[in-house]
Amino acid sequence: MSETLSFKDRVVVITGAGGGLGKAYALEYAKRGAKVVINDLGGTLKGSGHNAKAADLVVKDINDLGGIAVPNYDSVTDNASNIIKTAIDNFGRVDILINNAGILRDVSIAKMTPQDFQSVIDVHLNGAYKITRAAWPYMREQKFGRIINTCSPAGLFGNFGQANYSAAKLGLVGFAETLAKEGFKYNIFVNSIAPLARSRMTENVLPAHILKQLGPEKIVPLVLYLTHQDTTVTHSIFELAAGFYGQIRWERSSGQIFNPEDPNFFTPEAILNKWSEITDFKDKSFNKTQHPLQLSDYNDLITKARNLPKENNQGSIKINSLKGKVVIITGAGGGLGKSHALWFAQYGAKVVINDIKDPQIIVDEINSKFGNQSAIADTHNIITESQQIIENAMKQFGRIDILINNAGILRDRSFIKMTDSEWESVLQVHLLATFAMTKAVWPIFTQQKTGFIINTTSTSGIYGNFGQANYAAAKAAILGFSKTLAVEGFKKGIKVNIIAPHAETAMTKTIFGEKELKNHFDASQVSPLVVLLASDELQSSVKSKNGVTGQLFEVGGGWCGQTRWERSSGYVALSNEVTPEMIKENWSQVTNFSNGKSIHPQSTNESSMAILQSVQRAIATQGTNKSSTDKGSVSFNEPGGFTYTHKDCILYNLGLGAKSNELQYVYENDSKFQVLPTYAVIPYMQSTMSLDMESLVDNFNYAMLLHGEQYFKLGSTKLPTKGQLKTVAKPLQVVEKGGKAAVIVGGFETYDVKTKKLFAYNEGTFFIRGAKVPSSKQVMNKRAPFAIENFKAPTSTTPDFEIEITTDEDQAALYRLSGDYNPLHIDPIVAQSVRFPKPILHGLCTMGIAGKALYDKYGPYDEMKVRFTNVMFPGNKLKVSAWKNGNIVIFRAVDLNRDVVVLDNCALKLIDKAKL
């Protein structure tokens, strides 16, 4: 174990420290010798009210431990400077600042009020700015500072009903990245965390059993490590939860270059023709896939692009869908907006030219080139008069199809000199205007069931940039806002994408260097991509059920590239007590992107599920040191270990519908007491994680995994009703299916630990949608003959046996106690998040119900194979039909309430009674 990380005499300011994460931070800092300022307004989760009690109680807890702490009750939005003053007055310095305070005002964009949006931005983003601005001079002067900004998965990926929260949280990341660049030479290191932790904000959103794993104490160790004086990590983002710690970074595709010199050939069609090259994240001869901290080398890219033939290949698809469409472009009086307008008009669109300056010159130019009424002028204020802009467009053209949020200003200044007005004005014009315009047009797009929104971020927002803390925060916030809009707009036919342009305009010219000015990055080198993103042709040509939405593109100088998140494989700490020292010792795992196990999450659910999956896999493969006093519970004392008794057998039988009068299934003292043969699948299911599917395929995503088929063979004619078992797993087949999914077939041999005899052999077939299997990873081993045989149910022969079984409404709740605790089977919120109206029955439970009915009819069997073709809901009626041919029984099962086949290609092999 490394030396204990001490914070003796360091002064720590923590906002929102009256409970949850903030309190957990405060207690641990104090235990390690820090002097802590406990800031908490004591308001409600929505931000109302004030109560000093929360901060006072934490201070008392620290004082009782022998630590040093003082309370502060100021609001981060109204009097942030006084929070820092409290630290200076009491302790003479401030070393560490944890921006943790927050509120929620969750509501869909359709119902979100300007106050809902502004209040969340104020507490999270503006509050962090104000308190950091107050602390910055002290940190610079003492040449030491550590700052943590608290992001969220909702900020990184978007989340339904949290457009305000997503904007604020990703805005904090852009803010932090700029601070990291400005503070580096002063030994001020700034990082962001995106925790999934149990708190007032998550307790009503996540299921209870998941919340148990998400204690704030698992977040604390990383924050303490990042803020220690010996840690030099900066400009980084981390996701963490339940003992998982991983770095997340930007990954930028090598993209595609086009000669931008001739607008007749650098067109939307040319870009569409090379779309797969833009988004493939493969190295090219002219550029490599990168993990950058700053914008692309546009000078190099445009030089290479100009060496290409001017006649870029236009492909076979012509962009015709924009004819007659109506486009609103803000800030269209010049620069990028003007260029966009000209390009849209060229493709037959009607354009609303919005600008605070007189846009009539641009309108006249467009109308003279493309015909009268091709464009109209609009001078309304995009923040306070957004509704009037929409009404003007509707009055003139009767519809709106596309919104381009492009308007912006710069107020560049180093953070030490930045004024509140410079911060606020940039956020107003960029972020608040984007919200206002989107909010105003959303009802029209919803009613039309179609619409395109293209929002403008910046490389400063993605990577941070010296002297642009305000701009970086606003532009990153727009990106987070857009991610949620894409989620909320998906079912409504609304597509939302984001561009980070590189172009010389009146706004950017002052920050361009000599090379940039010489290369002349014209705005027209950006607009073809914008036009393409607003076209139906792009959506129809991309082979994805989601189309192109919620995506980020960097563009300029004849180059187009896509930028996405990449998360390291991470480190999982299984100990109940995780320490900063453990994080330090395992730092190479936290930041490991080179082992082929990094992932590219695209949604909050996908990211969170992958984290929890990593934790569950670590438990399954490494085991724990826990032992159970309940001899009837599952034990993980060793990898693949499983212990069961008669209680587990009874519980399983009851989960399949056994009744109290069926004593052979429910009473351990009955002379014929037994567990049903389908219990063979239960022990092995605990060991599926040991297959390490992430290593077997590329682009593995647990949220995209489906259990497709199941086969088992008993090791004896009758399963014992107690035992200690161990399962050994190996991949039998790993192949790609149709380019859309990977198929993994695992073989699982389960043995009795004491007798060494085979308990059961299982084969599970799993489909991972979106995963790939390169030739080097393909596996094709021999499988059990019965498992691969096709057992098609006869269509012309009457079944030998049919039975209708009404499942119980509570059947999933009972069956899950046999070991499958997936919340999909019990939690309505989780079920709805993956588009089921209510929790579904476990597929293996459906198999077991059918298996019990067939066992009662035909007697013992030792092999079974089923294919899961649809879901079953608890309480529905299951119809099982069977056809017997010798010792083989072919069967299928139908959910009668929905008239869908749920089990197909099924068969079992009866045991020769002479063997009994």
CATH number at residue 517: 3.40.50.720
62 and 151 in a single domain? The answer is yes
Q: Give me the CATH number covering residue 756.
A: 3.10.129.10
First to last CA, the chain: 58
Say which residue, 770 or 785, is predicted with more confidence. Answer: 785
Other CB atoms within 10 A of residue 419 CB: 12
Domain boundary among 786, 813, 829: 786
Q: Please tell me the total number of residues recorded for the chain in this structure.
A: 916
pLDDT, residue 509, reads 62
- The percent of residues above 90 in pLDDT, for the chain, comes to 80
**CA gap 840, 827 in Å, rounded:** 9
Compute the C-alpha angle 307/309/310, nearest 5°: 105
**CA gap 801, 805 in Å, rounded:** 13
Nearest Cα residue to 55 out of 69, 35, 38: 38
Q: Which of 35, 130, 169, 584 is catalytic?
A: 169
Given a cut of 70, is residue 833 above it in pLDDT?
no
Given a cut of 70, is residue 634 above it in pLDDT?
no
pLDDT, residue 828, reads 86
Domain boundary among 786, 808, 831: 786
Whether 635 is in a domain gets the answer no
For residues 533-558, give the mean pLDDT: 93
CA atoms within 13 A on the CB side of 376: 17
729 and 861 in a single domain? The answer is no
Structure token digits, residue 160: 């339904």
Whether 631 is in a domain gets the answer no
pLDDT, residue 506, reads 66
198 and 101 in a single domain? The answer is yes
Given a cut of 80, is residue 223 above it in pLDDT?
yes
Given a cut of 60, is residue 637 above it in pLDDT?
no
pLDDT, residue 702, reads 67
pLDDT, residue 199, reads 44
753 and 798 in a single domain? The answer is no
Nearest Cα residue to 608 out of 239, 860, 340, 322: 239
Whether 645 is in a domain gets the answer no
Pairing state of beta strands 705-714 and 375-378?
A: unpaired
**Domain housing 38:** 11-243+573-620
Least confident of 163-167, 656-660, 738-742, 753-757: 738-742
Positive or negative: CA dihedral 151, 153, 157, 158: negative
181 and 210 in a single domain? The answer is yes
Whether 220 is in a domain gets the answer yes
350 part of the active site = no
Tens digit of pLDDT for each residue in 30-53? 999 999 999 998 644 454 445 578
136 and 220 in a single domain? The answer is yes
Q: Which of 25, 165, 225, 298 is catalytic?
A: 165
For residues 203-232, give the mean pLDDT: 76
**Is residue 293 a contact partner of residue 340, using CB atoms and an 8 Å limit?**
no
Whether 486 is in a domain gets the answer yes
Given a cut of 50, is residue 203 above it in pLDDT?
no
Compute the C-alpha angle 215/219/221, nearest 5°: 125
548 and 586 in a single domain? The answer is no
313 and 342 in a single domain? The answer is yes
pLDDT, residue 115, reads 96
486 and 577 in a single domain? The answer is no
Residue type, 38: I
Using only C-alpha atoms, the chain has a radius of gyration, in whole angstroms, of 31
Q: How confident is the model at residue 213 (pLDDT cuts 50, 70, 90)?
A: low
For residues 402-411, give the mean pLDDT: 95
Given a cut of 60, is residue 635 above it in pLDDT?
no
**Is residue 793 a contact partner of residue 892, using CB atoms and an 8 Å limit?**
yes
pLDDT, residue 624, reads 31
Q: Which residues contact 516 (CB under 8 A, 6 or more apart)?
A: 298, 299, 504
425: helix, coil or strand? helix
719 and 815 in a single domain? The answer is no
Whether 162 is in a domain gets the answer yes
CA atoms within 13 A on the CB side of 433: 31
pLDDT, residue 686, reads 73
Least confident of 518-522, 805-809, 824-828: 518-522
276 and 161 in a single domain? The answer is no
796 and 860 in a single domain? The answer is yes
For residues 611-626, give the mean pLDDT: 62
Given a cut of 60, is residue 141 above it in pLDDT?
yes
Whether 642 is in a domain gets the answer no
Least confident of 62-66, 322-326, 612-616: 612-616
pLDDT, residue 357, reads 85
Average pLDDT, the chain: 91
For residues 371-399, give the mean pLDDT: 96
**How many domains does the chain contain in total?**
4
Given a cut of 90, is residue 279 above it in pLDDT?
yes
Burial of 595 (0-12, 13-18, 19+ CB in 10 A): exposed
pLDDT, residue 621, reads 62
Q: How confident is the model at residue 478 (pLDDT cuts 50, 70, 90)?
A: very high
For residues 205-227, give the mean pLDDT: 75
Whether 433 is in a domain gets the answer yes
Given a cut of 70, is residue 893 above it in pLDDT?
yes
777 part of the active site = no
